[in-house]
């Protein structure tokens, strides 16, 4: 009687623009015959995930889907601002979201999108916070 545990990726699904859902099945075999049920583990791979240890099929799909443009779109959709260091090319709203996410105090725009700190003032506050 030789018991063997077999794990294999048995399902890969692309969900929307930014998700690859992976299902791994685990089976216990006794001399080539499955004993008991199958247990499943699922995980999702996103553009910011590390898929280097995933199944080769998952790696190939992620490498082809998640190019630099996709990773940047993911960053914007999740955080509301681009990746990298804040710059004058960012919008006032993006700079505000960056400040909010980092706990940097600033004067926000009102509901109509008016007032608040200027882009230059936001960049100054971000620079000051990074020097602290």
Map 46-114 to HEC letters: CCCCCCCCCCHHHHHHHHHHCCHHHHHHHHHHHHCCCCCCCCCCCCHHHHHHHHHHHCCCCCCCCCCCC
Nearest to 45 by CA among 34, 59, 29: 59
* pLDDT score recorded for residue 32: 87
pLDDT tens, per residue, the chain with 132 residues? 689 999 999 999 999 999 999 999 999 999 889 998 999 999 999 999 999 999 999 999 999 999 999 999 999 999 999 999 999 999 998 999 999 999 999 988 777 767 789 999 999 999 999 887
> In angstroms, rounded to a whole number, what is the distance separating the alpha carbons of residues 50 and 25?
21
> In angstroms, rounded to a whole number, what is the distance separating the alpha carbons of residues 70 and 77?
10
* pLDDT score recorded for residue 26: 96
* pLDDT score recorded for residue 115: 79
* pLDDT score recorded for residue 1: 63
Q: Cα dist. 61→25, 42, 64, 120, 129 in Å? A: 19, 16, 5, 42, 40
* pLDDT score recorded for residue 105: 93
Determine the length of the chain: 132
Which residues share a beta bridge with 39? 26
């Amino acid at each position: 009687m030789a018991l063997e545990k077999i794990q294999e990726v048995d399902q890969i699904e692309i969900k929307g623009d930014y998700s690859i859902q992976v299902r791994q099945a685990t089976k216990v075999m006794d001399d080539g015959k499955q004993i008991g049920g199958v247990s499943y583990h699922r995980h999702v791979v996103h553009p910011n995930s590390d898929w280097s240890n995933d199944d080769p099929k998952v790696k190939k799909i992620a490498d082809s889907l998640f190019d630099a443009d996709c990773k940047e779109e993911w960053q914007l959709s999740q955080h509301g601002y681009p990746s990298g260091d804040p710059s004058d090319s960012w919008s006032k709203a993006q700079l505000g979201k960056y400040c909010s996410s980092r706990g940097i105090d600033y004067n926000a725009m009102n509901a109509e999108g008016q007032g608040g700190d200027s882009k230059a003032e936001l960049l100054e506050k971000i620079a000051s916070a990074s020097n602290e």
